[in-house]
Structure 1
Amino acid sequence: MFENKIILITGGTGSWGHELVKQLMEKNPKEIRILSRNESSQVAMKHKFDHNLKLKFIIGDIRDKAALSEACTNVDYLFHLAALKHVPVCEEQPYEALKTNVLGTQNVIEAAIQKNIKKVIYISTDKAANPANFYGFTKAMGERLIIHANTLESDTKFVCVRGGNVLGTNGSVIHIFKNQIAEKSKIGITDIRMTRFFLTIEDAIKLLFKASYESLGGEIFVMKMPTLKILDLASVLIEASGRKNVHIEELGIRPGEKLHEILLTEQESNNTIIFDNEYFVILPDINIVGLKEHYSHYAPIDLDHYDSSSLLMTRSEIQSMLRKGGFIQ
């Protein structure tokens, strides 16, 4: 699929982008274009990949439709990662979140159609399901725009991939907890009952490729992800640090924060099939020619919803996952 192809990654200098580029390079593409606003991150990433000539770094913003369209010239596949992602930032500056996450996604759609890109893969989040904060609302709107794009007059296919938290990404709770242990001998948790979905970045990108290969266009691929209690995660990190007398402080839930995240809502479960052991697929309410027929032989799910409060990992399983990700010895 990707051999000798030109690929564009928006927001490609983040943690997802680094791992996506690393795994894409193994598939022998012709060129990978990395579009982002941060000059310093691009320079650092260029050094990390040893100035590989297949990588082309483009300073740009998905809010700038003309620059985005230029970056899309001759592109075969587009991974849309660019977004404002931090919940408090989006709560405090909703206009900026709207411009990037919604209007920017509209620009991606229009540029992809204009340049006849084969497929656009949009990276979404569990916070888009029954959103409780502005970030979640903007990502939910992005999903709807991407799905609707398949009804427009074009040959470009658009698909969503929805996942939860990825271990060790920029601003990850793991980095925060490790710094708090080292600097304060204290970890702050908003609520000790809180649970979350987690996956290693390597596994997340592998799943992302599967959706890229298998998708028809118009569906939402939902990653099946392990779940854990944030309290258990903190306890494992404290134990691994070897430090004594590290305390856990309960801070209270922040605005827009949920006790349990959800990857699949009760409403969506009515249109969801079991794709395989790693994915559910949500089919849209709107009519996209041939999509429901394509998935007609798959079994419907037997869940009312899919949230992070059930099938929790044990502390030993969390420990193994953190070791695999290289976060503890």
Structure 2
Amino acid sequence: MFNNQTILVTGGTGSWGHELVRQLLKYDPKEIRIFSRNESVQFSMKQEFDNDPKLHFLIGDIKEKDTLIEACTGVDYVFHLAALKHVPVCEDQPIEALKTNVIGTQNVVDAAIQCKVRRVVYISTDKASSPSNFYGLTKTMGERLIIHANTLDIDTRFVCVRGGNVLGTNGSVIHVFKKQIEEKGKVGITDINMTRFFLTIEDAIKLVFKATFESIGGEIFVMKMPTCKITDLASVLIEASGKENVGMEILGVRPGEKIHELLFSEYESINTISYNDEYYVILPSIHINGLKEHYAQYQPVNLLNYNSSKGLMSKDEIKEMLQKGGFI
């Protein structure tokens, strides 16, 4: 599918971007354009990939539509990863989050349509389901803009994926906990009951490719993924560190933070189908030609919602997951 194709990755210098580019190169594309704002990170990534001639690094901001149109010219596929992602940052600077995550996403839509891109894949988050913080709200709006683009009389197709917390990415709770264990001798926990969805970076890109290869346009692809209690995760990391007398400090829930995350809500479950043993697909509430007919043979889910408090991993399973990822 990607052989001899030109691909644009917005926000491509992050953890998802690194792994996505690494896996895309296996398909022998014509060119991968990595579009981001950070010059120094681009330079480091270029060195990491041994100055691969297929990679072209573009300095730019998705808030600037003209720059995006230039980056999209001649492109076949767009993977839209660029976003402000940290909940506290988006709470403190909501206007910037709105400009980047909402207006920036619409700029990606407009640029892709103008440049006749074949397919756009939008990377969303579990925080977009029944959002409780400004980050989640902006990602929900981004999803809606992406989905709505499929109602237009155009050839470009748009699809979303929703992921949970990816193990070991920039700012990951695993790195935070390991640093706290090493430097402070205690781990800060926001709430003793907090749970989260987790997946490996490899599974995250598997989800992205699944949506790219098999979507019609207008769906949200969701991977069935493990969940864990954050205190259990901290306990496993403390035990693995070998340090004694490491405690846990309860910090309290931050503004907009949920105790449990959702990958689809009670409202969305009405339009969600069980795609196979690994994936769910959330269908839109708006009409998109041929979409519901395409999925008519699939069974609707018999879940009220998909909640991170259900099906929790044991500590042994968490340990195995961390060992597999090379984190302990």
TM-score, normalised via structure 1 length: 0.99
CA distance in 1 between partners of 2:92 and 2:29 (Å): 40
CA shift, 1:172, in A, is 0.6
Map of 1:51-62 to 2, 5 A cutoff? 51-62=51-62
CA shift, 1:206, in A, is 1.3
Q: Secondary structure at the residue paired with 1:124?
A: strand
1:233-258 C-alpha deviation (Å, 9 max, x unpaired): 00000011111111111111110000
CA shift, 1:207, in A, is 1.9
Is contact 2:11-2:17 (8 Å) kept?
yes
Map of 1:71-150 to 2, 5 A cutoff? 71-150=71-150
Name the aligned partner's letter for residue 22 of structure 1. Answer: R
| 4+ residue segments displaced more than 3 Å | none
- Alignment correspondent of 2:47: 47
CA distance in 2 between partners of 1:316 and 1:24 (Å): 33
CA shift, 1:153, in A, is 2.1
Q: Secondary structure at the residue paired with 2:327?
A: coil
Name the aligned partner's letter for residue 125 of structure 1. Answer: T
- Alignment correspondent of 1:266: 266
CA distance in 2 between partners of 1:45 and 1:144 (Å): 32
Map of 1:1-329 to 2, 5 A cutoff? 1-328=1-328
CA distance in 1 between partners of 2:207 and 2:145 (Å): 22
- For this pair of structures, how many residues does the alignment match? 328
Structure 1 alignment gaps of length 5 or more: none
Name the aligned partner's letter for residue 124 of structure 2. Answer: S
CA shift, 1:163, in A, is 1.0
CA distance in 2 between partners of 1:215 and 1:131 (Å): 25
CA distance in 2 between partners of 1:83 and 1:96 (Å): 10
CA distance in 2 between partners of 1:270 and 1:45 (Å): 42
Structure 2 alignment gaps of length 5 or more: none
CA shift, 1:223, in A, is 1.6
Name the aligned partner's letter for residue 152 of structure 1. Answer: L
CA distance in 1 between partners of 2:318 and 2:26 (Å): 29
CA shift, 1:116, in A, is 0.2
CA shift, 1:29, in A, is 0.7
Is contact 2:124-2:160 (8 Å) kept?
yes
CA distance in 2 between partners of 1:8 and 1:93 (Å): 28
CA distance in 2 between partners of 1:277 and 1:123 (Å): 21
